[in-house]
Amino acid sequence: MARALVLRSHTDAQVHRRLQDLNRLNHAKFFRRLTRESAIRHPNRALAVDFALLAARSVLRETILFREVWPGRPALPEEGLVRELTRMTIAYLGISGSGGDAEDEE
């Protein structure tokens, strides 16, 4: 259903506007929450949070809606996707001591 909505938004201006509004609202909420995180050590916090959200959104969109993350390779199971996407985001934002990562690597 979500994939059908995204595809329809490419040809239906009203659906496109509604999805854009929803995306803006959700982005603003996540952005405000993440930019308050004092552990972010990236030199440009606002840029870093914006980029991290874009990267996470892109990976999740391709994985969930289109199942096209790794052409010719099976997608990671949900737990692996969450773990690796979290690891990537934390590393990019410069957050240390995330907890639990060392256990996952063993």
Per-residue pLDDT tens for 33-52?
A: 777 777 889 999 889 988 99
In sequence order, what DSSP letters do the residues of 21-52 get, joined into one string? HHHHHHHHHHHHHHHT-TT---SSHHHHHHHH
pLDDT, averaged across the chain: 80
Domain that holds residue 49: 2-105
- pTM exceeds 0.75: no
Task: Inform me whether the pLDDT recorded for 20 exceeds 80.
Answer: yes
Q: Count up the domains in the chain and report the number.
A: 1
